[in-house]
Amino acid sequence: MRDVYLVGAGQSDFGAFPQETYRSLFAAAYEDALDSVAGDLGAADVDEAFVGNLGVGGRQIGLAGPAVTEHVGLDGTPTTRIENACAAGGSAIRHGVQAIRSGMADVVLAGGVEVMTDLSGDVTRYWLGVSGETEWERLSGTTFAGVYAQMASAHMAEHGTTREQLSHVAVKNHRHGSMNPHAQLGFECSLEDAENAPVVADPLTLYHCCPTTDGAAVAFLASEDVVDEFADHRVRVAGSGAGTAPVGLFERDTYTSIPASRDAAEMAYEEAGVGPGDLDFAEVHDCFAIAELLAYGDLGFCDPGEAGEFVASGATELDGDVAVNTSGGLKSKGHPIGATGVGQAVEAFEQLTGHAGDRQVEGARYGLAHNVGGSGGAATVHIFERDDGGVST
């Protein structure tokens, strides 16, 4: 199989933008990604495109991919919309990797876009709900937050995790997000803020939940045969993994782990020839604070029962054992569903090319991106490597 490289990545601002459309947001991300490419990459170079999109509100279901690529001048480029709930963006990257490895393409656009903030609360809850088990969980009245609240309660009962430890996730990610100019909630918060915020679904408070978001992200992938035309510093996709599990929480053997994440991580680690201890940073799917704690165990950062202590110890800060969610994560940066997984790759590209500003992880060589669909029905994990000597920060 041919090696695949990340040669450019960019995003729009994440937030609430009533004046924007899914086309204009995608165009902003596309231009930002083009600006990050060292060589002269044009529309004629792009062999194929994959665009993650849930279609919140019913926007262009089925043809959102061609609609946005045509808008940026890629009219005629084979384009496929990828719908895999909240893992759509990571799945778009995986499809791009597979297209290049197979020899069918040399340059692929992997992107994502979502508009979520112009809908009523009831409609938004519906569209979030279709990311999970609709026939039983949703029809019985369970919300997306409610499902993760069940996971949090189970984690507390099984491992002694506390609400304060959940709050440490929020505090850390807001601190990182305050240094990210693209973040939707780019401000710091305190433990007291997180602890005393209104309860959304017990034990989760408002600060334990990510926002709904408008935004887009774009990544350019290139084969080993053409990478030198577009990159000064090589960022290799060292490993790509994916997994699935029963969509309904009630169908699983555990509430305190996401098996799809474990399977995807095992696949990516094996392919990359590295383990959790080799990582310098990781972007993990923290739609709710408990999701980040689950990820620590599933990705091998610590024993599952030690996840709460792990975050409280500072091990996931910028200068910790493995810096987690340096972008601010979904919690602070935002969660435009179809774009989230690609946004994680944007952060990996910036970290591994030394362009992450105040949130730069010193000497970063390996980074991981972990994207979960719904409450764990699907997951992708990608490992990115700076393999050319890169930059010294």
Look up tokens 């990610």; give the residue: 173
Query: 312, 292 in Cβ contact below 8 A?
Result: no
Q: How far apart are CA 100 and CA 318, in angstroms?
A: 33
Supply 275's token pair. 């383990």
Let me know if 18 is exposed, middle or buried by CB neighbors in 10 A (0-12, 13-18, 19+): exposed
Residue 327 per-residue DSSP state: T
pLDDT of residue 44: 96
Q: How far apart are CA 128 and CA 330, in angstroms?
A: 14
pLDDT of residue 391: 43
Backbone φ and ψ for 52, nearest 5 degrees, come out as -75, 135
Supply 201's token pair. 């679904």
pLDDT of residue 60: 74
What radius of gyration do the chain's Cα atoms show? 19
Q: How far apart are CA 96 and CA 105, in angstroms?
A: 9
Containing H/E element for 4?
strand 4-11
Look up tokens 């696949």; give the residue: 267
Query: 2, 103 in Cβ contact below 8 A?
Result: yes
Provide the strand spans (E) within 159-307. 199-201, 204-205, 215-223, 235-244, 281-283
Taking the CB of residue 197, how many other CB atoms lie within 10 A of it?
17
pLDDT of residue 392: 38
Inter-CA distances, 192 with 163, 171, 196, Å: 11, 10, 6
The tens place of each residue's pLDDT in the chain, 393 residues long, gives: 899 999 999 999 999 999 999 999 999 999 999 999 999 999 999 999 999 999 988 877 778 999 999 999 999 999 999 999 999 999 999 999 999 999 999 999 999 999 999 988 888 877 777 777 877 887 778 888 999 999 999 999 999 999 999 999 999 999 999 999 999 999 999 999 999 999 999 999 999 999 999 999 999 999 999 999 999 889 999 999 999 999 999 899 999 999 999 999 999 999 999 999 999 999 999 999 999 999 999 999 999 999 999 999 999 999 999 999 999 999 999 999 999 999 999 999 999 999 999 999 999 999 999 999 999 999 999 999 998 744 433
Residue intervals of the chain classified under CATH 3.40.47.10 are 4-119+216-230, 142-209+238-383
Inter-CA distances, 233 with 223, 227, 353, 367, Å: 14, 10, 7, 15
Q: What is the pTM of this model?
A: 0.96
Q: Give the number of C-alpha atoms closer than 13 A to the C-alpha of residue 7, restricted to the C-beta side.
A: 31
Pick the CATH number of 4-119+216-230 from 3.40.50.720, 2.40.50.140, 3.40.47.10, 3.40.30.10: 3.40.47.10
CB within 8 Å of 340: residues ≥ 6 apart:
86, 89, 112, 217, 285, 330, 371
pLDDT of residue 390: 43
Query: Is it true that domain 142-209+238-383 has CATH number 3.40.47.10?
Result: yes
Supply 190's token pair. 């305190």
Q: How far apart are CA 250 and CA 196, in angstroms?
A: 30
Q: Which residues are part of the catalytic machinery?
A: 86, 335
Containing H/E element for 368?
strand 366-373
- CA 349-65-211 angle, to 5 degrees, is 60
pLDDT of residue 140: 79
